[in-house]
Each structure stands twice: as C-alpha cells, then as structure tokens.
Amino acid sequence: METISTNKEKRSTKLRLVLKKQEDWLKKVEEISGQNVFACYQCGKCSAGCPMSAEMDLLPNQVIRLLQLGAVEPLLNCRTIWLCASCFTCTARCPKGVSLTRLMEGVRLAIFRTRKSDEISPKEMVKETLPQIALIGALRKLTA
Amino acid sequence: MEIAYFPGCTLKTTAKKLEDSALAVADALDINLKELPNWTCCGTVYSLAEDDLMRQVAPIRTLARTEALGYSTLTTLCSVCYNTLAQANLFVKADSIRLEKINNFMDEEPDYKGNVEVKHFLTILQELGTEKLKSAVKKDLSGLKVACYYGCLLLRPQSVGIDDCEQPYILENIMQALGTKPVFFPYQVECCGSYHTAVKPEIVARRVYRILENARENGANLVVTSCPLCYFNLKNRQKEIKKLYPGFKPMPIFYFTEIMTDAFGLTKTLENI
Amino acid sequence: MRIGVFICHCGKNIAGVLDIKRLVEEAAKLKDVAYATDYVYLCSEPGQKEIQQKIKELELTHVVIAACSPKMHATTFARAVEEVGLNPYLLEIANIREQCSWVHHDAPEEATEKALEIIRAAVAKVSLAKPLAPITVPLTRKVLVIGGGIAGIQAALDIANGGFEVYLVERSPSLGGHMAQLSETFPTLDCSSCILTPRMVEVARHPNIHLFTYAEVKNVEGIVGQYKVTIEQKPRYVDPDKCTGCGDCAEACPVIVPNEFDQGLGARKAVYVPFPQAVPLVYTIDLEHCLNTKRLIVCEQCYHACGPKAINYLMEPKEIEIEVGAIVLATGYDLLPLEALKEYGGGIYPDVLSGLEFERLLSASGPTGGIVRRPSDGKIPKRVVFIQCAGSRDPEHGCPYCSKICCMYTAKHALLYKHAVPDGEAYVFYIDVRAAGKRYEEFVQRVMEEERIVYLRGKVSKVFQRKDKLVVWGVDTLSGMAVEIEADMVVLATAIVPSKNTADLAKLLKAPIDEFGFLNEVHPKLRPVESSAMGIYLAGAAQAPKDIPDTVSQASAAASKVLGLFSQEELSLEPIKAEVNLENCDGCAYCVDVCPFDAITLVVEEDGHKHVEVKKALCQGCGCCMATCPKEGINVAGFTLNQLKAQIHALLKEDEDD
C-alpha cells in the first residue's frame, strides 16, 4: 500500500477544535450552493477520487465535515477550497447526491462576499499565451 | 438541417486548429453548421451559485439569440462553452421564475423560451452514425493507437454529460470508425487541472504526467481530446513535466477532428509524428 | 341511541399536543352522545376495563374511541367491546394520533380543532352503523411455498411437521437457493452445504411435502382459504422417475456452458445438475444450449449414454392444478449486477468479483476446488481489496438501503482468504461496520485482531486495471489520507435486490411490494411476516435483506402463522363485504367491470329481471363497486354510502339536509 501526498506544506498542527458552531456561515454556504451538508454521511468517496487530493491540505470530505461542525476557521485558512477545479468527479460519484463541487463554490463565494478581496492577483499568473478559457476561468474562480 | 454553431473565444485564437479541422469535418460529412452572427462570451466556467443570476446572463443571451433566429439546436466544439451553455439551459428550464428574471434583465434581447437544445459536436457525429464516417475515410490509420481523453466538462455533471461519465465510448467509437485503434485508458476521465494552469502550472504538470503516462503504459502513441483547455494542458505542460520528471518522453496531442481530417484525406497533420 | 366517546392521551403522543379537556367537553355536546371521557392509555388493561365498565353502566349502544390508527388497535378495542356484549361493528375509531397530533405537533390549537372534526365525523358514522356478524368460508388446509432456498425449506418443513400438506415450488432444477452456493457461514464458520443439504434431503423425503423443482407458479385465483394454483412443470427432457443421477449423460454431452451455480466461474454441460448435492438428483437438459431444438434433433449423445433410457427430447411442459388455503412467499434475493458499478469496473475487469462469486472461489466444491484463483489468469491473488456498500446505501447509483449481510460476509471473506492464502494481504474498505447479531461483533473483532486485516474507513472511488493489477483509489478518513492500493483482486459487496419475478408474482397475488420491489409486511413491528393480502405470508430476503439466522426465524414465524390459520376447520372472515340492495340494483353491471377481485357476477332471473350478486368470500370490501354504482344499488357493510355521507357532512360541519 502506498499513500500519495506531494503536499509539501505542513498541515495545521492544532489537534483540538474548540467548537463554536457558526450557523449563519453554514446557512450562507448552503443557500449559495443549494446543498444540505447533513445529507453527507462521510463515506469519503469524494476524497478517494479527487484528482487534486494530493495537493490539498484538507481532504474534500473534511471540508464537508467542517461545514457540518460549523467550524469555519479551518476552512477560511485552507488551500483545499482554492485547489478544487470544479471537475465534478466527487459529485458524479457521491452516493448521497451531495454536490461537493457546489459546496466548494459556496465556500469560495461566501469568503469573497465577506472579505471582498481576491485569492490571487493577476500578477501571479504565468507569463505565456494561455487559452482565454484558462485565463478567464482562473479569474472567475479565484477573484472576487 | 442547418445547425447553429457557437465557436466561443478560444476557438478563434489558441484553438484555431480545432475550429478549422472541425469545420472541414462538418463540410466533408454534409453537416450544415452556421456560425451565430452575433455571439458573445459563453460566460466561461459555469457559475455554481444558486443565487447569482447575473452569471447566467451571458449563456442565456446566446440561447435567446439562437432561438430568435429559428434554430432548435446549438452546437459547440469547446468543452467549457458546451458545459456552460448546457448547464445554464437546464438551470433556466427547471425554473420559469429564474428565466423570467433573466429575460426581464435583458430587455433589449428577445425573450428566451427554452426551446434550444445545446449539443456538442461529438453528439452530432454520434447521431450521424459510424457508417457515414467510415465511408468518408480515405487514409489508412490502422497503425495509430489512440488514447481518447475526455476530461471533465463533456461528461460531468451527468445532467449535461454526452456519455457515461465512468466508461465513455463516444470518442472511441469515432476513432474506431476512422480505422485507428483506441486503447484502454482509465485516466481518460481524470481532470487535467483545468484553469490552475494559469496560476499553478506545476500542479497541472503533475496531473498531466499521470494522465499521459497512463496513456503510454496502455500502448498509446498519441492522445486525442476535444477540449481546448485540456489540449493546452496536455500539450504545453509537457515542458514542465520534463523538468519534474526528467525521464518523461513527449506524447503527441491532437484534437480528435485533426485525426478526422487526416483520415478523410484533407490534411496531413499526422505525418510529422 | 347512546354513544360513548373515549379519548386517549396516548401518554404525551396525543395529550402533549391536543387540548384533551376541550375535546371531551365538545364531544359530550354532540348529537346522541351520552357520555364522553378521556384516559391516559385506553389500550392498556385498565383502559379497556374502563370502556367495558362504562358500556355496561351507562348502557351505551355505540362507541367511538379517539386514539391511534385503527391499524394499531382496532382489533384490541373490538375485542374489548365484544366482551361486554356490544357488536364490534358498532365501534368506530377516530384516528387523532397519526392523522392529527403527530403531524400537527407545531400547531396545537388548529390540531385540537381538527381532532374535534375527526371525532365528530366518527360519531356521525357510527350513529348509522348496524351490527354485523362474521362470515365463514371453507378452508383448504394445504399450503403453497414458493421458493426452495433456506427460507422456503424451513417454512415447508415446519408446516409439514405440523401435519399439513405442503406444495413447495422451486424455479431452478434443485433446492438450496443461495445458501447452497456459500462456502462457510458467519459467525460460526459452519460449512454451508453441510448444514443445508440434510434439510434439502428431508424436504424431498417428507411424506407431507410435494416438491416441484424446475417449476413455476403460473396462475393463482381465489382468496385465503381457497386458492386455486396452476403450477407449470418445465420439461427436464430427463424422466425423473428413471434418472439415477449417475451423470453418464453429462459426460457424453459435447456442449460446455458457464455454470450459473458457480456464478459463471465454472462450467457445466448442457445436460446437468447444478451441483453434486442437488435435490432432487435428476439431470436436466438446458434446451437453450443443447444442440437439439424442439424441431430438430441433431445430437443424441446423452440419449445413447443413458443406461436407464431416461432421456426424452419430446417432453412437454405440464400444468398442475392444486388447491391451497395459504401461500408462503420465499422468493429470495439477487445481487445488484456488477455492471451497475461502473466506477469500479464491474463487469469489465474479470478480477472484480461479487461476494457470491468469491464464495464460489472459497468453496471446496467450487470451480477452483477451494483454492482462491483469479478468473483472469488463474493466479493466486496475493492482495485482495474488499469494498463494502457497493451499491448499498447509495441512492444515487444503487439502493438507498443497507443490505445488512455484507459487513459480516466481508469479514468472513477476509478471514477465509487469509486462511486460504496465509501470505496474502486483505484490505476492507467500509463506511460503518454493522455487526448487530449474536456473536457478530466478536467475529469482526476476531478478524481484525487475529487475522490482522486492515479495515480502512472510507469508500473507494475508482478501480482500474494497470497491467495485471487492479488499482484501487480509496480513502482512509480516520487518518485523513487518500489511499492507492495495487490489488490482485477486488471483491464488491454488491447490494441485495429482490429476486427477479418477485414483482410479477406479487402482482399475481395482489401482495404489495415496496419501492425497491421487496414484499411488504402488514406492520413492520407487529405483523412482520404477513402480507396485507390475507393468507399470504412472507419469509426470507424477499421481504428485506436478511442473513441466514433471520431468514430461518422468519420462515418459522411464517410457518407458525400458517399453522395458526390451519388450526381452524373453516375460516371466519370480516363482514366488511359488498351487499346488493335489490330494490335499487337494475343489473347495469358497471360494478362487475371495476371489481378487482372478480367477486361480482350478473344474474338474469327467469323473468328477465337483472341484478348483480356478490361472492362474499372473494369480496375484499374495497368499495370500487359502491363508488361506481349510479343507483346506490350496492353498499359495503360497515362503510355504507349513508355512513360515508354522514361522515363527510360532519367534517364539513353541515347538516345532512343542506
């Protein structure tokens, strides 16, 4: 058995979560995404098939778990939600019909709508001729 | 029957090869494509927010114009355009109130009534049938072992998918009809990293490495795709792959339509590999 | 007329929502109500006593009990009023729990108003009620058991041992069902055939059991007590009276086909017995694969090989008519086809197997003689991945329900694999381990501890072939790691679905099924082995996924229900039946067409006068006739048009004359 992780950055070492359920935030994410996070029974199939999981600091199922717990802080600081490329693999395979793809977008938008600042700056983009869909896609997903 | 054709921005620039070859294919097969006269951006990457109708205006405007011109079918070549237009179409068809709001917002446009079907060019070829394709083949391509790469947006979400999202066969079917040998290719539905190519090319390089190595270990001597973004990632990120994995050998990448024009004797794209 | 109204608190179930005091006050004011009261639990012994006492003391002539659904306690209360001499059909239940307090707990005031309306309607209805007496019909004390797996075997033996005749019909050529395919059984690891085959033999030898294998139930008519059943005996093309089971025919047969009993992993001939211990041990020619057809005989190898001359290519299907009083449905299960699980390459990769296929590989009598080998290349797999919930608990791609047995058989598979391949590795992907059963949890613990099997908590997302390995992409949510395993074999615990034809059979018997096609019981807790179609009893996985102990228990329970029914000489039926009003009926016969039970016939008298007639035994009191009749010429006793009208007027708070 081999575990795959090319993730160089260390995960946050906090091992106890002080739970303060942030219902408003959760509601907002559910409203934007049209999903019920409690429909998820944490089987982890999303994480098992996510093409980006090797790059992530939180596994996709952990994103839903944190939403279920109403624990917003770890989500605000994670890289995972910005690495999700909306490929819909998790949604296609989810046994419960939960669209994690939409929830990820919900978290991103909830962050954008509150902090109104971008995740990336156009300066960080590669200096080469890109297809417009790559350029606009990145800006749409990663800027407010 | 005349079918409305929506090119989208990328087809006119970096993916010109896709448009040229696809139009030549359509011509050879008597598929009557008519480019929409006043198309605008599709919206690029479908908005996944339930509460943000603004993001749906661009694709619905295109659908409204298509409908007003009397077309019932709109075809696209770009996976991103296809996915955005098709999902937006379902989104408004499912809820007349949303549609009304968007129509009211675009009061300078004709109202969209929901009567346009968005079809990817691949679906049109599938409906045409493989016999027709076979009869157009002029060149023997039986030596080609082709890995058919679908990426995400042609297949997922399933509501707009053009084929089974786990075991698709639509590209293989066409490639087989051309006389090539499609190879087994389980990574064909694995995401290439998409727009991250603009910011984190190394992530895309790692993804593409796995995809291309999977094609290679299954005996492919080239990879075909239909998506301009996948095409760019699969082809252009090979230079980054070479840096990360020095043993990596280049893999030729083509649009599926380029193989078709070669097979039909219209081009000689493959002669260079 | 003196109506008594009794209102139940049902603890807090009703009283926690409704204003009981107000209900009693208002009920007392209703027309003809002589007495109204409330009680904390009317269904309890003192509650029933209270009702009985008041009936006697106040000379009540009719009773309304406002409580839970009549499905729950109508019989309880009917018995109680009957004991003090009140005809039970002068009792009406007003359902103020399921139809009121439970569903309107957030609006207590409106709910109280609604409860009052329900009570008012019940009072209006009961005030027009007439005393009715049960009707008796003949009872044929023989039973039909459909399905020859362990459920059918157990039910048949129990009933036969109780002294009644049993007809056991099995579709395949042998008794045994899926249990015969299993290697060993959890948690005791008994050899499945060793405990099953003696039972199969017992069935075949039992003087009270008529066994029909390779046969199907074609038609069923009639009702409880008197079913007429047509069984079709498919032709075996081998005379069962002459066949000695020697197998010379199979040896001679040139046609080799996959053996269904080995889930297609082994081969059989076109003339075959499914497995060596088959009961009856009679060979069958499978005409679908035999070189001969109905019209053309091109091969006579088996005919010439057969010593006792048992082969007969001209055999025809035979119809057998029987009469029975009750039917036990034990039609079992199938597995969700592997092809449904595309992300796991089910049906595409030969080494991705179902649990039943793996059973055959483990079985000493299986196609590999109990040596676990890969179907693709015959190699012994050194690393096996087991995936639980493959299609179960997956409303999007399979079934929403838990298939119940997979946690246990997967643990057993992992253990048996380790015993068979001691240097092999086994990994189990699970979401939850459900091991509720006697010595089940201990068994799973033993597998983890003693066999050192790694359980990974998470669902696999994708399986694909890489060279001669199967790559498994899973996750271990406990460590928070995505996992990749290169396995030699993958075993999917595919979901359990009702066996094919269960739905058709259920339709024939008018036995309800649920949304997944499993047979429905009358009440999930209190009447779990009866169908709501009277006289039909349920056993085994046809009702819901079940393991062997549960199946055997349910089969015995179904048998005891049949024996209970057969303890009577004739059958007493509820008098809720259609009655013809000869003054109004003019024989238009609209009702004849709509009756779902063919209980109504048109009679033409000698003088040309026409009217309909009801066969009481067939009538189920559904009321289709009453609703169709334009002349009020037919009424269901206990639910007459007048009673229903009164009920509706009361609900609408109208006087009936309005």
Question: pLDDT tens digits, residue range C374-407?
Answer: 999 999 999 999 999 999 999 999 999 999 999 9
- Identity of the residue numbered B206: R
Is B164 in contact with C342 (Cβ distance < 8 A)? yes
Looking at the fold, whether B185 and B69 belong to one and the same domain comes out as: no
Query: Strands C215-223, C226-233: parallel, antiparallel or unpaired by DSSP?
Result: antiparallel
**B56 CA: distance to closest CA in chain C (Å):** 27
Domain residue limits at B46: 2-122
- How far is C496 from B107, CA to CA, in rounded Å? 55
pLDDT digits (tens, 9 = 90+) for C289-340: 999 988 899 999 999 999 999 999 999 999 999 999 999 999 999 999 999 9
**Closest in B167, B184, B217 to C342, CB measured:** B167
Residues 6+ apart with CB under 8 A from B258: B17, B18, B21, B224, B267, B269, B270
Which has the minimum average pLDDT: A5-14, A106-115, B251-260, C371-380? A5-14
What does the pLDDT read at residue A11? 52
Residues of chain A neighbouring B9 (CB-CB closer than 8 A): 132-133
In chain B, the residue whose alpha carbon lies closest to the alpha carbon of A83 is: B196
CA-atom Rg of chain C in angstroms: 30
- In angstroms, rounded to a whole number, what is the distance separating the alpha carbons of residues C372 and C619? 57
User: What confidence tier does C472 reach under pLDDT thresholds 50, 70, 90?
Assistant: very high
Mean pLDDT throughout C441-462? 97
Distance, in Å, from the CA atom of B53 to the CA atom of B65, rounded to the nearest integer, reads 18
Q: How confident is the model at residue C655 (pLDDT cuts 50, 70, 90)?
A: low
pLDDT score of C620:
86
What share of chain A in percent tops pLDDT 90?
A: 76
Query: How high is the pLDDT of residue B1?
Result: 80
Q: What is the DSSP string of B113-165?
A: -S--EEEEHHHHHHHH-HHHHHHH--S--TT-EEEE---STTT-STTT-SS-S
Whether residue B188 is found in the same domain as residue B228:
yes
Using a CB-CB distance cutoff of 8 angstroms, which residues of chain B are in contact with residue C465?
Answer: 184, 186
Between residues A1 and C173, which one has the greater pLDDT?
Answer: C173
Phi, psi (rounded to 5 degrees) for C424 = -85, 160
Closest CA to C470 of C454, C452, C491, C493: C491
The verdict on whether omega for the bond into residue B157 sits within 30 degrees of 0, i.e. cis, is yes
pLDDT value of residue A2: 47
The length of chain A is: 144
Domain boundary residue, one of B122, B155, B180:
B122
Contact C464 B217 (CB under 8 A): no
Contact residues on chain A for C461, CB-CB shorter than 8 A: 45-50, 89, 93
Nearest CA in chain C to A54: C482
Q: Are A2 and C394 in contact (CB < 8 Å)?
A: no
Instruction: For chain B, state the CA radius of gyration.
Output: 19
Q: Are the C-beta atoms of C636 and C620 separated by less than 8 Å?
A: no
**Is C456 in CB contact (< 8 Å) with chain A?**
no
Are the CB atoms for B3 and B73 separated by under 8 Å? yes
Out of A48, A54, A94, the one facing C458 most closely (by C-beta) is A48
- Whether residue C269 contacts residue C256, with contact meaning beta carbons closer than 8 Å, is answered with yes
Domain end position, chosen among B78, B98, B122: B122
Report the half-sphere exposure of B10 (CA within 13 A, side-chain side). Answer: 28
Please give the residue that has the higher pLDDT: either C399 or A16: C399
Instruction: Flag whether the pTM goes above 0.80.
Output: yes
pLDDT value for B184 = 97
Shared domain for B176 and B117, answered yes or no, is no
Please give the backbone phi and psi of residue C94, each rounded to the nearest 5 degrees, phi first: -105, 115
Go through B139-159 and write b for each residue having 16 or more CB atoms within 10 A of its CB, e for each that does not. Answer: bebeebbbbbbbbbbbbbbee
**How many angstroms separate the CA atoms of A126 and A142, rounded?**
15
How is residue C61 written in tokens? Answer: 């002539």
**Looking at beta carbons, which residues of chain A come within 8 Å of B232?**
130-131, 134
C-alpha to C-alpha distance for C238 and C312, rounded to whole angstroms: 6
User: Residue range A108-136: average pLDDT?
Assistant: 91
Each as own residue / partner, the long-range contacts of residues B189-192 (CB below 8 Å, 24 or more positions apart, any chain) are: B189/A89, B189/B150, B189/B151, B189/B152, B189/B155, B189/B165, B190/A51, B190/A89, B191/A51, B191/A52, B191/A85, B191/A87, B191/A89, B191/B151, B191/B152, B192/B149, B192/B151, B192/B229, B192/B230, B192/B233, B192/B234
Which residues, 6+ apart, have CB-to-CB distance to A117 below 8 Å? A144
Chain B to chain C, count of Cβ pairs less than 8 Å apart?
15
B70 and B154 both lie in a single domain: no
Question: Across the interface, do C481 and A43 touch by the CB < 8 Å criterion?
Answer: no
| In the block, residue with structure tokens 């709508």 | A113
CB contact at 8 A, B36 and B273:
no
Both tokens assigned to B173: 């079917």
Contacts of C327 (CB under 8 A, 6+ apart): C143, C144, C145, C146, C220, C227, C229, C509, C535, C536, C537
Name the β-bridge partners of C103.
Answer: none
Q: C218 with C319: CB under 8 angstroms? A: yes
One domain for residues B194 and B266? yes
Kindly identify which residue of chain A lies nearest to residue B203, measuring between CA atoms.
Answer: A55
Instruction: For residue C352, list its beta bridge partners.
Output: C490
On whether both B93 and B42 belong to a single domain, the answer is yes
Q: Give the CATH number for residue B86.
A: 1.20.1050.140
C177-197: average pLDDT: 96
Q: How confident is the model at residue A6 (pLDDT cuts 50, 70, 90)?
A: very low
State the nearest Cα–Cα gap between B166 and chain C, in angstroms: 6
Inspect the interface and report whether the beta carbons of A59 and C475 lie closer than 8 Å. Answer: yes
Strand partners, C210: C167
Pairing of strands C226-233, C318-324: antiparallel
State chain C's mean pLDDT as an integer: 95
Residues B107 and B137 occupy one common structural domain: no
CA-CA distance, A1 to C483, in Å (whole number)?
A: 8
Tell me the pairing of strands B145-148 and B181-182: parallel
Q: Are B84 and B176 part of one and the same domain?
A: no
Q: Give the nearest partner residue to B49 out of A32, A83, A138, using CB atoms.
A: A32
DSSP state of A90: H
Write down the pLDDT at residue A13. 55
How confident is the model at residue C223, as a pLDDT?
86
Interface probe for C, chosen from A43, A61, A89, A98 (most Cβ of C below 10 Å), is A43
Among the partner-chain residues B164, B166, B217, the one whose CB lies closest to the CB of C466 is B217
Do B146 and B181 belong to one domain? yes
Are residues B8 and B111 both part of a single domain? yes
Q: Looking at the structure, do residues B166 and B105 belong to the same domain, yes or no?
A: no
Q: Which residue of A has its CA nearest to C427?
A: A1
Counted domains in chain B: 2
Q: Which residues of B touch C (CB under 8 A)?
A: 164, 166-167, 184, 186, 214, 217
Give yes or no: residues B140 and B218 share one domain: yes
pLDDT band at A116 (very low <50, low <70, confident <90, very high): confident
pLDDT at C653 > cutoff 90: no
Measured between beta carbons, the chain C residues lying within 8 angstroms of A95 are 389, 393-398, 459
Q: Chain B contacts of C342, Cβ < 8 Å?
A: 164, 166-167
Instruction: Give A134's DSSP letter.
Output: H
**Which sign, positive or negative, has the C-alpha torsion C366, C370, C375, C378?**
negative
**How many other β-carbons are positioned within 10 Å of the β-carbon of residue A36?**
12
Q: Do A1 and C484 touch (CB under 8 A)?
A: yes
CA distance B163 to B82: 14
Residue ranges and CATH numbers for the domains of chain C are 3-126 (3.40.50), 142-234+317-332+506-565 (3.50.50.60), 248-305 (no CATH), 334-497 (3.50.50.60), 578-636 (3.30.70.20)
Structure confidence by residue, pLDDT tens digits, C503-524: 999 999 989 999 999 999 999 9
- Interface contact A93-C343, CB threshold 8 A: yes
DSSP C556: H
> Residue holding tokens 């408003």?
A24
Contact C484 A5 (CB under 8 A): no
Which CATH number fits the domain that encloses residue B172?
3.40.50.11810
Question: Residue C658: pLDDT band by 50, 70, 90 thresholds?
Answer: very low
Residue A104 has pLDDT above 50, yes or no: yes
The 10s digit of each residue's pLDDT in C68-102 is: 999 899 999 999 999 999 999 999 999 999 999 99
CB-CB under 8 Å, B186 with C343: no
Q: Which of A6, A33, A138 sits opposite B48 (nearest CB)?
A: A33
Return the sign of the alpha-carbon dihedral for residues C501, C507, C510, C514. positive
Domain boundary among B100, B122, B144: B122
Could you identify the residue written with the tokens 């029914």?
Answer: C565
B186: chain C residues, CB-CB within 8 Å: 462, 464-466, 471
Question: Omega of the bond prior to C187 within 30 degrees of 0, cis?
Answer: yes
Instruction: Work out the average pLDDT over C358-371.
Output: 95
Q: Do A89 and C393 touch (CB under 8 A)?
A: no
Give the SS3 label for residue B216: helix
Structure tokens at B194: 């998409």
What is the nearest CA distance from C483 to chain A, expressed in angstroms?
A: 5
Q: Would you state the pLDDT for residue C598?
A: 84
Determine contact, residues C45/C67, Cβ cutoff 8 Å: no
pLDDT tens digits along B185-214:
999 999 999 999 999 999 999 999 999 999
**Strand C165-169 to C209-212 pairing:** parallel
Q: Is A99 on the interface with B (CB under 8 A)?
A: yes
Q: Is the pLDDT of residue C470 over 50?
A: yes
**Of B135, B167, B83, whose CA–CA distance to C343 is shortest?**
B167
Residue C656: per-residue pLDDT = 55
Among B199, C299, B173, C556, CA closest to A55:
B199
What would the mean pLDDT of A7-33 be, rounded to a whole number? 78
Q: Which of B166, B214, B217 sits opposite C342 (nearest CB)?
A: B166
| C480 at interface of A, judged by CB pairs closer than 8 A | yes
Using pLDDT thresholds of 50, 70 and 90, give the confidence band for residue C597: confident
**Cβ-based contacts of C462 with chain B (< 8 Å):** 166, 186
Q: Which chains touch A (3 or more CB pairs under 8 A)?
A: B, C
The pLDDT confidence band at residue C618, using thresholds 50, 70 and 90, is: confident
